[in-house]
Structure 1
């Protein structure tokens, strides 16, 4: 279950830039070391060693992917970037069933209303964190209308959690 967390925009951007630079520098260093090692071990002096250089870069890419998922993902310095990735994944999971969500909202399904409210709140936060102001006024207008409808029906409007069971229920109503 994903939950929207309060996040300071400037802090989020500073920390994600820092983690991006750290990952990029580590990748560059690994790519250089592994390419050099591959050429030294398997290459020919003065020969065409392009395939060994590319192999070293590819090995660095695989190693970085493994380090990201195995080691770095749980590190404190990666937390804002991981949160942003999880937020976007959660929003994408709603987007993938949006036609079912909107149809169920029109039919008055409370679960669909909660999912749509989560989507509005999550999208608003994502736009703030990414500094994306395009279509923000349209989103706010739609979110306010939906919130008013939920309030009129007595449904809790602070839907900061996305329960995967809600999406599964909506998918099964095809």
Structure 2
């Protein structure tokens, strides 16, 4: 279950830039070492060693993927980037069924209303964290209208957790 956490946007951007630089530098070092090693071991002096260079980079990509999931993902310095990734994945899971959600909201389905409220809160935070204020005024109007409708129906508007059961409840509508 994903939960929206309060975050300082400037600090979030600073930390994600730092983790991106660290990952990029590690990848560059791995790619250079593996490509150079492949050429030294299997290449021909003065020959066409492009395939060994490309092979070294390919192995570096595979190694980085394994390091990301196995080692780096749980590190403190990666926490903001992981949070941002999880937030965007959660929002995308709702976006993929948005037509079912909006149809169910129009029918007054409380689960769909909670799901849409989480989506609005998560999207608002994502815009804030990414520093994207261009779509914020339109989103704010939609959020306020939906929140007022939820309050009128007595549904809690503090939907900061994405319950996977809400997503499952919307899927039968798409079949």
**Does the alignment reach a TM-score above 0.5?**
yes
2:122 equivalent in structure 1: 122
- Runs of 4+ with deviation above 6 angstroms: none
1:173 shift after superposition: 2.4
Q: Over aligned residues, Cα RMSD in angstroms?
A: 0.5
1:11 equivalent in structure 2: 11
CA distance in structure 2 between the aligned counterparts of 1:123 and 1:165, rounded to whole angstroms:
20
1:154 equivalent in structure 2: 154
1:10 shift after superposition: 1.1
Which runs of no fewer than 5 residues in structure 2 stay unpaired? Answer: none
Deviations 1:78-117 (A, max 9, x none): 0000000000000000000000000000000000000000
Do structure 1's residue 32 and structure 2's residue 7 form an aligned pair?
Answer: no
CA distance in structure 2 between the aligned counterparts of 1:134 and 1:125, rounded to whole angstroms:
13
CA distance in structure 1 between the aligned counterparts of 2:4 and 2:159, rounded to whole angstroms:
9
1:79 equivalent in structure 2: 79
CA distance in structure 2 between the aligned counterparts of 1:119 and 1:63, rounded to whole angstroms:
34
Deviations 1:42-84 (A, max 9, x none): 0001100000000000100110000000100000000000000
2:22 equivalent in structure 1: 22
Which runs of no fewer than 5 residues in structure 1 stay unpaired? Answer: none
CA distance in structure 2 between the aligned counterparts of 1:9 and 1:50, rounded to whole angstroms:
43
2:46 equivalent in structure 1: 46
TM-score, length of structure 1 as denominator length? 0.99
2:110 equivalent in structure 1: 110
Matched residue pairs, number?
174
CA distance in structure 2 between the aligned counterparts of 1:134 and 1:91, rounded to whole angstroms:
18
CA distance in structure 1 between the aligned counterparts of 2:61 and 2:134, rounded to whole angstroms:
34
